[in-house]
Amino acid sequence: MQHRLPLQAIMQPNVVAGMAFIFCTLLAIELIMVVYASWLARDFGATTAQLGSIFALLGFVEIGGSLGAALFTDRIGKRRAVIGGYLLTAPVDVGPAVYVRQLVALLPVFLLYDICFEFAVVSTFPLLSELLPQARGRVIAIGVATIGLGRVVGSLLGPALFVGIGFTANGVLAALLTLLGVAICARWVYEGSGRGGEEERRRHETRVRMLCTFVLLGSRFSVLGSLVRSVLGSRFLVVVRWLSVL
């Protein structure tokens, strides 16, 4: 039974590699997310109202990415969807800091980045749930904790890099971490081969649909947070963003 599964079973290479992949990719995302409001304000002269509008638009884009994951991840394949989504974010980590000099030109790039990482993050959960089918709940719980750990490290490291070196350092490190995570996923992460039965399969599908629903709600809170930012000012940019995005 699942609740009697020994902890040692979760330490198999497949699951450990999955956690390493999640840590690298979420750390990479947070390196960008935690500072890009400050970057837009400092390097592009974006006002608080402009930032609020941009983040509101990004919130709707995140909803699109979540819906895309719900509709296409199973058709594409979980590993393919995750790897493809993160591979598209890697060049966008570096490109804006090096080549983009106007806010208008930057906007579509950020929209692309946002929809790709949202698609990849949401697609990660179905893949995560299949790493060890007989212990889905435990693996997902460890995965969520790993996501939190990656974001905490990124939240601490990102501002230090941004202030000490510049946004280019954040972008380069984020791209390298993303590629490292993708390499780990491609080489060592694979779906388990548990024999769950029809009832267990239906329960699993229900859990995944509920998860996607919560992610969509989180994206809607991101839109609400954008409106709050535009009213309350730039001091709340990073805090509200951190609380509203999964």
- Tens digit of each residue's pLDDT (9 = 90 or more) over 59-104: 888 888 888 988 898 889 999 999 999 999 998 888 776 666 788 7
**Residue that is written with structure tokens 């990004």 in the block:** 58
Contact 154, 34 (CB under 8 A): yes
CB atoms within 10 A of CB 205: 12
- Tens digit of each residue's pLDDT (9 = 90 or more) over 189-219: 987 654 444 455 555 554 554 555 455 555 4
Instruction: From 157, 93, 110, 118, select the one nearest 246 (Cα to Cα).
Output: 118
CB atoms within 10 A of CB 12: 12
Give the span between the Cα atoms of 62 and 149, in whole angstroms: 22
Q: Identify the DSSP state of 215.
A: H
Both tokens of 217, joined, read 């709600």
Give the span between the Cα atoms of 175 and 134, in whole angstroms: 34
Mean pLDDT of all residues in the chain?
A: 80
Instruction: From 50, 5, 16, 35, select the one nearest 242 (Cα to Cα).
Output: 35
CA dist list (Å): 87 to 34, 49, 162, 166: 20, 32, 23, 23
**Please, what are the domains in the chain?**
14-193+201-244 (1.20.1250.20)
Give the span between the Cα atoms of 128 and 82, in whole angstroms: 11
- Tens digit of each residue's pLDDT (9 = 90 or more) over 168-196: 999 999 999 999 999 999 999 987 654 44
Both tokens of 72, joined, read 């296409």
Residues 6+ apart with CB under 8 A from 15: 131, 132, 139, 142
Single pTM value for the model: 0.78
